[in-house]
Structure 1
Amino acid sequence: MSRLSKSSRRSLLSTVSIAALALCAGLPAAHAADSDNITIMVGGINKIIYLPAKLTEALGYFKDEGLKVELQSQPAGVDAENQLIAGAVQGVVGFYDHTIDLQAKGKEIEAIAVFCKVPGEVELVSSKAAAAGFKTMADAKGKTLGVTGLGSSTEFLTRYLVDKQGIASKDYSLLPVGAGNSFIAGMKQDRIQAGMTTDPTVAQMLKTGDAKVLVDMRTEAGTQAALGGLYPAASLYVRNEWAASHKPQAAKLAHAFGRTMAYISTHSAEQIAELMPKDYYGSDKALYVEALKASLPMFTKDGAMPAGGPETVLKVLSAYKPNVKSAHIDLGKTYSNAYLANK
């Protein structure tokens, strides 16, 4: 084996030192030398509720902030959350309610940009089940309900809506069926009689006549009726520790998404759809635009947390999660608007 020169040894030691520091900080070594390289996991990147992630990239706002952002997709938000906790990614685009659930488990993550004031979720019932008498959530007894994944926000919301009708958890079943085509297949095959999903899947199933709406949480009025208040949902969340030690990067991310929310509030569904990849809408762009039009009111205009929203989310989770109810949650640690204002 050849002996290393002094310069080679110094280079090797430097590389090892950087990697060691990265490990000590709980960050991947690849990000130690260039912390403006950021990986964000999205809980289903083609869902309209998470559209701001891809739109920010398409508009060039990440680059404007000097960031190199890689977007990855994970069908269920709970899986994306696990990647964040493991330190494999720096941020997650998912539901804000995970920040509260995780704090109850001793882990601190915070939303630094909020995309949606409401869940954007719809509880669909198959046309077959509806014809057989499944008309409201009170008819869920003995049925199998679809969610994206166990531990996901769709599970949180589904349980709340059913439990509110006085139906015990043992009297209905939850089945993880993912989103998009896998959700559609689950309902068509009658593996689920109802399930929670988002646009554009909602628009597709209503157009084909395979499903009907049971609960619509795409609007403020529908969400107020179902949950009793605004329910901030889709957001960018990061580990509190990471945000504190990477304030410039956290602020750049928040700024980029804040600009995107302003763009959404001032542009048409048609203009936004033009910036989306073709595989987001396939052969039916008109249907995608229609779904997008129905969804635009749910987005925030600036990325800030809506007043009263965190309290509604805490109420919903506390209703059926004993660990959340007894945890004395500090909502101030579950989100921050500060990064939108500072840089």
Structure 2
Amino acid sequence: MQRSTVRRAAAIIAALLTLTGLTACAGRPQSGDPKNVKIAAINLLTFSPVYVADKLGFFKDEGLDVTIVPTTSGDASVQAMLGRSVDGATTGFDTPIELTAKGQAVQSLVGMEMATIYAFVGGKNFPAVPADDPAAFVRAVKGHKFGVASSGSTGDLIARGLFTEYGLDPEHDVSIIAVGTGAAATAALQSGAVDALISYEPDLTRITGSGAGKVVFDLRTSKAEQNYSQLPTSTLQATSAWIKSNPDIARSLVRAVARADTVLREKSDTALPVLKGLYPELSPQQIESIYSASRSHFRAEISRPTFDSAMKIYRGAGVETGQVSYEQVVATQFSQDWSAA
């Protein structure tokens, strides 16, 4: 074979190899491509770190293309996660504990609002009760219709636990009704579909501002109630199977949300414009007031003492009796990333 023919053959082979390589690469994401992730969330202040992380570009900084899938309750978020239509969910601190005890392995990746956010609101037919008197409040609930976001939600758990603690049987002494959140909850109180409900910001401001109800017992400020007033509220969660299959993506989510927690806690000039964009129906003054009361609650760390204290409350009230360990329900492999912001 002549040398020129050899050179032409080599060039053709090289071109074919290059084309083959490009064709093979076209069918799969490149190492620099963003990784697609879906997170189910309710647009409420307690879950705002994922929205803040998205709006401020923290997910993109971690190489993630995150889609936040809106839901109307924590229960809906959990069902989406368990059904694999989303990769993660923002919901109650107790959710992985409850699910793991039932054989569904779910873990918290990173903390969001790690303090109590709940208050009880009474409508026009609810009796007057003394301020910060949980026993009087629970007595007043007896025989009434009481609203929660959804059956099994964190608010439902807290309401049932508080009722039980002060001698009311939540199965027989009160009618507990799922009313959703936002406008649906406000409408349920206004129409008399429920006489009282448990809620949190910004729904509390919406309800009280509309005249649909008023706060009758506030766990956030209570000095008399020392159990449920101390519970952490919300975390970003995923199934243990998903975390095991996607450790790098999970770590990136943790780092982005931890940064958002830091912004919410320490950088009001950055956080407030994002929050005002998330809740345009509220006045800037209302948002500033809500945020001021909650900003110190946003912490990424989910410590063992926090878990142990919560479990003591759950078990003491007879709400959670499963033998679930800290390592089962908290993704401790990311603990160093909680402070990476």
Q: Same fold (TM over 0.5)?
A: yes
307, 310, 313: which one aligns with 2:307: 310
2:86 is matched with which residue? 89
Amino acid at match of 1:245: S
| Match 1:213 to one of 209, 212, 215 | 215
**Equivalent in the alignment of 2:192:** 190
Q: Name the residue aligned to 2:35.
A: 36
Q: What amino acid sits opposite 2:188 in the alignment?
A: G
Q: Give the 3-state SS of the residue equivalent to 2:274 in structure 1.
A: coil
Looking at structure 1, the residues matched to 156 and 223 of structure 2 have their Cα atoms a distance apart, in angstroms, of 16
Distance change (3 Å), C-alpha of 1:131 and 1:223: closer
Partner residue of 1:245?
A: 245
Shift of 1:236: 0.4
- In the alignment, is the contact (CA less than 8 A) between 1:118 and 1:232 conserved in 2? yes
Correspondent of 1:336 among 331, 337, 340: 331
Gaps of 5+ in 1: 1-6, 19-29
Kept in 2, the 8 Å contact 1:123–1:196? The answer is: yes
Asked if 1:139 corresponds to 2:140, the answer is yes
Please tell me whether the aligned partners of residues 129 and 216 of structure 2 are also in contact (alpha carbons under 8 angstroms): no
The structure whose Rg is larger is: 2
Structure 1 residues 257 and 75: alpha-carbon distance in aligned structure 2, compared to 1, 3 A threshold? same
Q: Which amino acid aligns with 1:179?
A: T
Is the alpha carbon distance of 1:298 and 1:283 closer, same or farther for their aligned partners in structure 2, counting shifts above 3 Å?
A: closer
Partner Cα distance (2:318, 2:181) in 1? 24
Per the alignment, do residues 283 and 273 of structure 1 end up closer, same or farther by CA in structure 2, a change over 3 Å counting? Answer: same
Residues 7-57 of structure 1 show CA distances to partners (whole Å, capped at 9, x for unaligned) of 9xxx99x98xx9xxxxxxxxxxx9xxx782110001x22x11111111111
Give the direction of change, closer, same or farther, for the CA distance of 1:312–1:228 in structure 2 (3 Å limit).
farther
- Deviations for 1:46-101, whole angstroms, at most 9, x for unmatched residues? x1111111111111100000111110111110111111112211111111100000
Q: Does 1:99 align with 2:99?
A: no
RMSD of aligned Cα (Å): 3.0
For 1:307 and 1:213, locate their aligned partners in 2 and report how far apart those are by CA, in whole Å: 33
In structure 2, the partner of 1:227 is 227
- Alignment TM-score, normalising by the size of structure 1: 0.81
- Structure 2 unaligned residues grouped into runs of 5+: 1-18
TM-score under structure 2 length normalisation: 0.81
In the other structure, the counterpart of 1:292 is 291
Q: Secondary structure at the match of 2:39?
A: strand
1:244-263 equivalences under 5 Å are 244-263=244-263
Which shows bigger deviation, 186-195 or 226-235? 226-235
CA contact (8 A) 1:113 1:304 kept: yes
Please say if residues 184 and 205 of structure 1, whose CA atoms lie closer than 8 Å, have aligned partners that are also in contact.
Answer: yes
Bigger drift between 65-74 and 313-322 goes to 313-322
1:109 to 106, 109, 113: 106
2:274 aligns to what? 275
Asked if the contact 2:276/2:284 (under 8 Å) is kept, the reply is no
Partner in structure 2 of residue 57 of structure 1: 54
Query: Within 2, Cα distance between the matches of 1:213 and 1:299?
Result: 23
1:116-169: CA deviations, max 9, x gaps?
Answer: 222312111124413499951222110111100111111111100111111112
State whether residues 130 and 212 of structure 1, in contact with CA within 8 Å, keep that contact through their aligned partners in structure 2: no
The aligned counterpart of 1:161 is 162
Given that residues 137 and 214 in structure 1 are in contact (C-alpha distance below 8 angstroms), is that contact kept between their aligned partners in structure 2? no
SS of the residue aligned with 1:170? coil
User: 2:232, 2:124 → 1: CA distance?
Assistant: 30
Q: Measured at CA, do residues 50 and 153 of structure 1 come closer, stay the same or move farther in structure 2, by a change above 3 Å?
A: same
Per the alignment, do residues 138 and 311 of structure 1 end up closer, same or farther by CA in structure 2, a change over 3 Å counting?
farther
Partner of 1:76: 73
Percent identity at matched positions?
19
Given that 1:258 and 1:340 are in contact with CA atoms closer than 8 Å, whether structure 2 keeps it comes out as no
Amino acid aligned to 1:285 = P
- 3-state SS of 1:281 partner: coil
Count of aligned pairs: 310
Q: 1:197 to 1:254 in 2, by over 3 A?
A: same
